[in-house]
Amino acid sequence: IKIIDKKVFSVADDATIKVWDKDLNLLKTIYLKEKFFNSNLYTLCFDKNNIYVAGTYGFDNPILVFDRATLKLKKAIKNNFYG
């Protein structure tokens, strides 16, 4: 969970990002799964500067990095967990 610009952002393993107002009214649900992921996520997180969202859905699948504001894919990082 992150608070950015007086909005609360939550992420979940079903590849959704939810945006809430300060009173916790749901403003928006963003579905990344249908577009970028073919199974449930292992992780989805924000960077420390709240500019990017990153997620992966398996040990050897790429880590996908998105711009938080536009949710456009910025980079796919090779994930070589098993060596």
pLDDT digits (tens, 9 = 90+) for 24-58: 999 988 777 666 666 666 666 777 777 777 777 66
pLDDT of residue 33: 65
Whether 76 shows a pLDDT value over 90: the answer reads no
């997180």: which residue's tokens? 45
Whether 69 shows a pLDDT value over 60: the answer reads yes
pLDDT of residue 10: 81
Q: Which residue has the higher pLDDT, 51 or 18?
A: 18
Contact 18, 10 (CB under 8 A): yes
20 CB contacts (<8 Å, ≥6 apart)?
A: 7, 8, 9, 10, 26, 27
Token pair for 52: 């990017």
Q: DSSP code of 20?
A: E
Cα–chain center distance at 63:
10
pLDDT of residue 35: 61
